[in-house]
Amino acid sequence: MNELGLMTTCELLGALDRRDVSSAELLDVYLDRIAALDPALNAVVTLDEERAREAARAADATRIAGGPLGRLHGLPMTVKDAIETAGIRSTGGAVELADHVPVADAPAVGRLRHAGAIVFGKTNLPRWSGDLQTYNELFGPTQNPWDLDRTPGGSSGGAAVAVACGLTACELGTDIGGSVRVPSAWCGVFGHKPSFGVVAQRGYLDHVGGGVTDADINVFGPIARSADDLDLLLSVLAGPAPELEAAWSIQLPPARSSTLAGARVGLWLDDTDCPVDRATGDVLSRLGDLLSAAGARVSEDRPSIGLRQSFEVYLPLVSSAASVSLGEPEASERAGNHRRWLELDERRAGLRAAWASYFESHDALLCPVLPTAAVPHDRDTPLFERTVLVNGRPVPLFETILWTGLVGVAYLPSTVVPAGFTDGGLPVGVQVVGPFLGDRTTIALAREIGRLTGGYQVPPLAR
């Protein structure tokens, strides 16, 4: 099978610039790989083949004529189906939007297209992005390419599978509870949850009529096969909401360090509030030695907050943000009222201050994404009743997001980098967490960590 599809975004753009491959040829590579691999995976749920071919031919003609080229010129890619994409069915995974074809792009998609990207399809997700698994009534389940009996995670599960298996150059996902980070970790790819507000999130379909306001905690973020790809994509995506563009711009500070030598890295790799399964913990525990050998200043220092303390703020806030997509009585039970939200927001300010103090003396913190590697499909049990085995004991699945909620509630950036594999052959990712607006730092350190751990590996099914 054509290995062009497995190259990184940066490598592909280089090949396009050298005219080693045309945009039209690269699009065919992805369409062929989807035809061959996706029947077993169910990652790509909608294709816009005809218009994509026209766009690819136009991109090639512009390149040949020496016209102006954007940073992603001629690059074919897919987008999570929770994000409005002009002229392409965009459903949010919900039957209510089965025939929804937006007339305008979400601002983030518009930035990708303005940079020259060719959006040729949409990827699968759970209904309204509301699950740690990826399946819905419209399109069915998506399978994990490392073990088809397991879920790729959610909610950007189709996106992560498409990247892992070379069905797309890169992806744009969303993350309110780990929806970029969990699938990236469970599928063995790189993913970035930006600092809150860095990437415009309008056009997010979490309910009928959605996409016109911003959801608390939610972000849009890239998924790719390298940290360099994440850095490039973030450069394209970063920008304010459209109504602020006349006066505001976003200029992220440079990375505090581009190497591990001398980098001040904290490790928070396990906790009694959310114990990590041994199979995952064994992979993560090796990171400390690798980082120290690379010259990093490694410690087990943690911010002056607890996992449970943070979760008690995160859970009602995220429930409030997601309440528009929850059915009754879940919405009223979990969402609370606006006065309660204001009280929680004040408590969040305390959490953010504790993190800011921590990052005065640390460049990054490494922590788990979830306590386990990918879990078996369980589509028969409601989300809040589901359990997973951690060290042989059943644990409520929803409580395992203490690790992702810890970061999300404080609006911090987190880059997921592949950390290795369990003895059973399942990928394990780790979060590289940095200070608010320190996205360049987390991506730069993820790049170096990936070099130590081997980074992205091709799943056997996709080779």
What does the pLDDT profile of the chain (463 residues) look like in tens digits?
A: 678 999 999 999 999 999 999 999 999 999 999 999 999 999 999 999 999 999 999 999 999 999 999 999 999 999 999 999 999 999 999 999 999 999 999 999 999 999 999 999 999 999 999 999 999 999 999 999 999 999 999 999 999 999 999 999 999 999 999 999 999 999 999 999 999 999 999 999 999 999 999 999 999 999 999 999 999 999 999 999 999 999 999 999 999 999 999 999 999 999 999 999 999 999 999 999 999 999 999 999 999 999 999 999 999 999 999 888 876 555 455 566 889 999 999 999 999 999 999 999 999 999 999 999 999 999 999 999 999 999 999 999 999 999 999 999 999 999 999 999 999 999 999 999 999 999 999 999 999 999 999 999 999 999 8
CATH topology of domain 264-462: Amidase signature (AS) enzymes (3.90.1300)
Token pair in block for residue 90? 């965009």
Question: Residue 19 and residue 65: Cα distance in Å, rounded?
Answer: 13
Closest among 338, 335, 337 to 316, alpha carbons compared: 335
Q: pLDDT at position 330, please?
A: 53
- The 10 Å Cβ neighbour count of residue 163 is 34
Asked whether the beta carbons of 399 and 273 are under 8 A apart, the reply is no
Positive or negative, the CA dihedral 230, 42, 46, 156 is: negative
Q: pLDDT at position 98, please?
A: 98
Asked whether the beta carbons of 185 and 217 are under 8 A apart, the reply is no
Asked whether the beta carbons of 118 and 75 are under 8 A apart, the reply is yes
Annotated catalytic residues are 80, 155, 179
> What's the predicted TM-score (pTM) here?
0.97
In the chain, residues under CATH classification 3.90.1300.10 are: 3-244, 264-462
Q: Could you write out the three-class secondary structure of the chain?
A: CCHHHHCCHHHHHHHHHHCCCCHHHHHHHHHHHHHHHHHHHCCEEEECHHHHHHHHHHHHHHHHHCCCCCCCCCCEEEEECCECECCECCCCCCHHHCCCCCCCCCHHHHHHHHCCCEEEEEECCCHHHCCCCCEECCCEECCECCECCECCCCCCHHHHHHHHCCCCCCEEEEECCCCCHHHHHHHCCEEEECCCCCECCCCECCCCCCCCCCCCCCEEEEEECCHHHHHHHHHHHEECCHHHCCCCCCCCCCCCCCCCCCCEEEECCCCCCCCCCHHHHHHHHHHHHHHHHCCCEEECCCCCCCHHHHHHHHHHHHHHHHHHHCCCCHHHHHHCCHHHHHHHHHHHHHHHHHHHHHCCCCCEEEEECCCCCCCECCCCCCHHHCEEEECCEEEEHHHHHHHHHHHHCCCCCEEEEEEEECCCCCEEEEEEECCCCCHHHHHHHHHHHHHHHCCCCCCHHHC
CATH number for the domain running over 3-244: 3.90.1300.10
